Amino acid sequence: MTQPGVDQKVLDQNIRELQEWLRNAWQQLADPTLTAFSRRELRNQMKQCNADLRMQLQAASRHMLSQPAAAGKTFAKPELRILA
């Protein structure tokens, strides 16, 4: 589903969208007017969405591990000068 050159922002957006969809699906599942068939279909869609979310999270994890540390986070001895 994800391609090797996918940007981290795209992965984050996909993750947020899938989480929001699942949140709404749980609220919809609580509706007492839902038929048994609709409930079953919604649960099947939730399972698929959950699998997609896991894949996106794994891709984001691999993406973060493959990138080198940010240049601003390297620690080096600062050059200090005393001004008089």
Per-residue pLDDT band for 1 (boundaries 50, 70, 90) equals very low
Instruction: Report the C-alpha gap between 35 and 31 in whole angstroms.
Output: 9
Q: Residue 69: its pLDDT value, please?
A: 57
Residue 9 carries which side chain, given as an amino acid letter?
A: K
Which three-class secondary structure state does DSSP give residue 7?
coil
Instruction: Report the C-alpha gap between 44 and 22 in whole angstroms.
Output: 12
The verdict on residue 16 lying in a domain is: yes
pTM for this structure? 0.68
Domains in the chain: how many in total? 1
The verdict on residue 42 lying in a domain is: yes
| 3-41 pLDDT per residue, tens | 555 688 898 999 999 999 999 999 999 999 999 999 999
Residue 42 near residue 29 (C-beta atoms within 8 A): yes
The verdict on residue 13 lying in a domain is: yes
The verdict on residue 80 lying in a domain is: no
| 53-82 pLDDT per residue, tens | 999 999 988 888 877 655 556 677 878 888
Instruction: Report the C-alpha gap between 30 and 43 in whole angstroms.
Output: 12
User: Domain range spanning residue 35?
Assistant: 8-67
